[in-house]
Amino acid sequence: MLTSLILLIVLMIFGAIIALESKDLLSGIISLGIVGFALTIIFLLLHAPDLAIVQIIIETLTLVILIAAVLKTTRKDTSEEFGLQKVLLWGACICFAGVFMWKFLTILNHLPPFGSPELRMSLAYLNGTAQTGAMNLVAAVILDFRAYDTLGEATVLFTSVAGIIAVLRKVGRKT
């Protein structure tokens, strides 16, 4: 289980690197698909079927939207930094990543180990079927215990649709 998990995460990392480094935007987006679908399988391994379903469908739809956008515009990534600027950027990135990783490694032992989290708030949720009547505990959490969050989440989607329709207007200003 742990081995396959680590292998899948490594696959995700490779997919991410290819997605960022490829010169062709379309193949970059398809490599991004590797990351998303590997994440779906990881969700299944971690006993999160709800997440796997949502992730696989939303991944597909996101890829469709991205591919539609790229096919309408251009596939080539012509932006490449050269010379001093590239060196400086890389240096800054490596420094930051190094410090971040180092700090994270020092706290790793203070966090609860993988596989046995300390439950506090969710102890009550584990018995959610008796309290809400829903068999699916995730549904019980998102629509009963924490339904207010879900209202916010639906509102985010509503907001972004309103924003997209507003941004893609042909004319913004009356003259």
- Residues in region 57-116 near other proteins by CB under 8 A: 57-58, 60-62, 64-66, 68-74, 77-81, 89-90, 93, 97, 100-101, 103-116
Spatial CB neighbours of 34, under 8 Å, sequence gap ≥ 6: 11, 12, 14, 15, 18, 19
Cα separation, 33 vs 113, whole angstroms: 30
Binding test (CB under 8 A) with other proteins, winner from 27, 54, 91, 95: 54
Residue 40 · residue 59 · CB < 8 Å: yes
In whole angstroms, the minimum distance from the beta carbon of 104 to other proteins comes to 5
Q: Which is nearer to other proteins, 84 or 125 (CB)?
A: 125
In whole angstroms, the minimum distance from the beta carbon of 38 to other proteins comes to 9
Number of residues that bind other proteins (CB under 8 A): 127
In whole angstroms, the minimum distance from the beta carbon of 84 to other proteins comes to 14
Q: How many CA atoms lie within 13 A of 99 on its CB side?
A: 5
In whole angstroms, the minimum distance from the beta carbon of 65 to other proteins comes to 6
Binding test (CB under 8 A) with other proteins, winner from 4, 87, 95, 129: 129
Quick check: 155 binds other proteins (CB under 8 A)? yes
Provide Rg for the chain, Cα atoms: 21
Lookup: tokens for 32: 């991004």
Q: Which is nearer to other proteins, 84 or 123 (CB)?
A: 123
- Three-class SS state of 79: coil
In whole angstroms, the minimum distance from the beta carbon of 144 to other proteins comes to 6
In whole angstroms, the minimum distance from the beta carbon of 70 to other proteins comes to 7
Cα separation, 35 vs 19, whole angstroms: 9
The owner of tokens 């597909």 is: 60
Q: Which is nearer to other proteins, 83 or 172 (CB)?
A: 172
Cα separation, 170 vs 3, whole angstroms: 52
Residue 60 · residue 34 · CB < 8 Å: no
Write out the binding residues for other proteins, residues 18-37 only, by CB under 8 A: 19-20, 25, 28-29, 32, 35-36
